Structure formats: structure tokens, C-alpha cells
Amino acid sequence: MDAYVAIEGGHVIEARGRAPGTTNGELVFTTAYTGYEESLTDPSYEEQILTFAYPLIGNYGVREERFESDRVHPNAAVARELTDDVAEWLTEEGVPAVDQIDTRDLVTDVREDGAMACGIAVGDDVTPEDALAELEDCTAMSDHTDIGAQVSVDEVEVTEGDADGETVALIDCGAKQAIVDSLNERGATVHRMPYDTTPAEVEAVDPDVLFVSNGPGDPANFDAAVDVVDAFVGDVPVAGICLGQQIVARALGGTTEKMAFGHRGVNQPVQDVDSGKVVMTTQNHGYTVADAPEALEVSQINVNDGTPEGLDSDDLDVITRQYHPEANPGPNDSLSFFDDVLGMAEAKRTVLAD
């Protein structure tokens, strides 16, 4: 199949078509060299075109038990070489895919110019003009004002934990399944709730923890989740991952901003401010907290650029992380985050009982 990739500025790259279709989205890249199944099913890639920096994608097949959601979320996939297994999977999913591209050059463009609009056309009779037409129609990420509706559950889903475990109200802004699994494995019962859940609906769950998930897009477009955090912070322990950290920060008066090309990969170094200890983390985000609210302490920072990776408050019982402690893919250095979250809730319950 013929294939063309048009990037912001009008440059068109000829490629090999691996899965047919035409589409557009924000062009981003991940440096992960394993975990392509998890990345392609991560809801945080919604409305984006995912470029793999690692040259060979698909060398250990495709297994559904590794998926982080029930579908592929990037609008298209770009690689130096895709195996037939991955190409067939993406074809079945209706997601265009191309390879035989110098992804080193493409990644360099994104690092130098930032995440950019992109149009892709793949098929037996497509032309460069088809890709340019898709590029012209590309919508900026901040303009996807209701992106949460594309990735969240439609109604509450409950996964049971231990009888004496904590109850977690998880605001699903595009949650990875590994977050739910990590909480369940520690005995928590998780009420996975739509991204536009109201405070009254959360109150009905009577949660021990309010947990805001990862997700795609601009945190400024998740006002309902901000309102929920505002309603419960200080009364119920609050946790957040990735987009969840940004939402919690906004709820407490902080600000967020779009990054040039974001953090996406499994080797992002994060330093604890107090101890100086550095851990390697999995990340996937294009926005960050610009100014942390006064109520929260910046407890962890990204070693490469100094952006906030952890926000904490003992007084308010808040703990958030910009990275993905659940990994999938990536290192497990930070799995103890979930123990800390549930421990915070248990301590709160004990105080209230006394």
C-alpha cells in the first residue's frame, strides 16, 4: 500500500502502508522499546499519532492480556518497521499504520519543533494531497474540549477488593487498567466513575479515597473533575496520576501548561526532593503543572527539566504523581505509591474512628 505522512509546515514523507485509512492528530513519540501493546491501548494517546523511536515494533507478538483498555487509542501508528502481527492487529482495529520511515529524523523534528499537527493517508490509491488534506483538518489538542467522553466509562463499574479494604472512587479520565489492578491487588474496592461525575454521585459511594486517573488532552477541559476534587479535598484523601495530578493542582489554585513535546517513555528520571533518591519512571503526558498551588509541596521533580513529578500535602491528605507508578510498560520502582495512597486512607479512617 502507498502511504504519506504530512507534518506541520507542509512537508510530506513517503512511507510504506501497513494498515489502511486516512486520519490526523498530534504527532508525538515514545522512547519505549518494549510495551507497544500497552502504549497503543493507553487512553492517554487519544487523538494523537504515535511514533515509536525504537526501530522494531512487534517482535514478541500481540497478546490481549497486556492491553490497557479495550481498543487502540492513537489515531495512527508510525514506526521504522512494524511486524505483520502488529500490522494485522491495527488493520483489524481500523487504525492506519505506516513504516519504512526514518523515525530518528521524525523524532528529532518533534524534539526541535515540539509536538505538531500531522495528517496520514494509507491505501492503494492515496496521494500526498490526501495526507495534506488531513493535516489541514487537524484539531489542536486544547480544542478537543470533550475528549474525556471518548475515553471514560459511560457508567460506574465496580471491581471488588477485600471486605475490609478501602473504597476508592476513581474518576476515569482515561484510566489505564493497570491502575485499577494495582488498587484491587491491595484489597481496595474500586468504583470506576465517568469523567463528568458530580460531587453528589461521588458522595453516594462514601469513598475512603478520591483518585483522579490519567487521561488525554488539556486538563483545562476537565472542569467536572476539578469540581469533584474541590468538593472533597481536605475531607477525603485525594490521589492522582498524570492528568490527575494536573487536575488536583488546578482544583487547589495551581496552573497548567502545554509542554513542547512532553514526556513519553519508560526511562524518565525522577528525583525525590527530600532524599535526593532518583527512580526511573514510565510517563505519557503533554501537559504539566506550571505553578503548583501553595497548599501542595513539590515533593519530586523531573531530573531532565525540573517539572513537578510529585505534589503532596500531609495536612490535606493529598498525594499525586505526574508519572505512572503502575508502569505497564516500564520499571516498577514506584509501585509503593499505591501502598502510600491506601495507607493514607487507612490512617484517616483510624483518626475518624478515634
> Known catalytic residue: 88?
no
Whole-angstrom distance, CA of residue 264 vs CA of residue 47: 15
Residue 342 host element (H or E)? helix 336-353
Helices 243-251 and 223-232: angle between axes, nearest 10 degrees: 60
> Known catalytic residue: 324?
yes
Q: Which residues neighbour 128 within 8 Å (Cβ) at sequence distance 6 or greater?
A: 4, 6, 12, 14, 121
> Given 242, 285, 297, 309, which residue is catalytic?
242
Residue 57, SS3 per DSSP:
strand
Binding residues are 44, 215, 217, 243, 246, 284, 286-287
153 C-beta neighbours (distance < 10 Å), count: 14
At position 239, the amino acid (one-letter code) is A
CA distances (Å), origin 262, targets 147, 239, 245, 256: 18, 22, 15, 13
CA distances (Å), origin 217, targets 43, 187, 314, 321: 10, 31, 29, 17
What's the gap between Cα 284 and its chain centre? Answer: 5
Binding residues for L-glutamine are 44, 215, 217, 243, 246, 284, 286-287
Positions annotated as catalytic residues are: 242, 324, 326
